Amino acid sequence: MDAIDRLLAEHSQHRRLVAELEAALGRPSVHEVGWNDCAGCDFKRFKEIHRELRERVLDHERREELLLKEALELLEGGADAGRMLEKRHGGVNDLLRLLASVAELYDGSHLHPLRTVVARVREELDSHHEFEEKELFPRLRRDLRPGDMERLARRYEEAAAEGR
């Protein structure tokens, strides 16, 4: 498993956590209260998953920026892609922060704002994963030399061991 495989496995964890986040809110009823329906909501579970998702995403982004910015500098136009990566991470982080603020305001009966922000988190993460999985990672696999990929793998292990 190389460093990119490890990052891809982390993306799968993020997708699983977003699905769990949605499940914790329960399905909105098509009758009466619709998106504000709280009948199936487990808010305590929602907060636990949100915390885990936020920690894992921040941890992943830190490692990704550390590893990929260095790797991208070896490629033509790679510095721009590195800046784009940081900007996109900022967008994801802003939404996760917004979700925390909206969760603070939850009054036990109005789920609509929470459902709306969770849907935006899903969209933003999906779009970010698509950018990395379809553009960024394939480019690194194609253009980096084998020695660079091995160095990347070692850096991943070091960063993970140091909790970075």
50 or 63: whose CB is closer to Fe ion?
Answer: 63
Stretch that binds Fe ion, among 25-33, 37-45, 72-80, 129-137 (CB under 5 A): 129-137
Which range binds Fe ion by CB under 5 A, 43-51, 70-78, 107-115, 132-140?
Answer: 132-140
Kindly report the three-state secondary structure assignment for every residue of the chain: CCHHHHHHHHHHHHHHHHHHHHHHHCCCCCCCCHHHCCCCCCHHHHHHHHHHHHHHHHHHHHHHHHHHHHHHCCCCCHHHHHHHHHHHHHHHHHHHHHHHHHHHCCCCCCCHHHHHHHHHHHHHHHHHHHHHHHHHHHHHHHHCCHHHHHHHHHHHHHHHHCCC
- What's the rounded Cα separation, in Å, for the pair 39 and 111? 10
Of 128, 112, 105, which Cα lies nearest the Cα of 57? 128
Shortest distance, CB of residue 60 to Fe ion, whole angstroms?
Answer: 6
One character per residue 73-112, x = contact with Fe ion (rule: CB under 5 A): ----------------------------------------
Which of these segments, 38-46, 59-67, 105-113, 134-142, binds Fe ion (CB under 5 A)?
59-67
CB of 29 to Fe ion, least distance (A): 35
How many of the chain's residues bind Fe ion (CB under 5 A)? 2
Q: Which is nearer to Fe ion, 112 or 134 (CB)?
A: 134
Q: How far is the CB of 81 from Fe ion (least distance, A)?
A: 12
Q: Least distance (Å) from Fe ion to the CB of residue 106?
A: 28
* Residues making contact with Fe ion (CB under 5 A): 64, 132
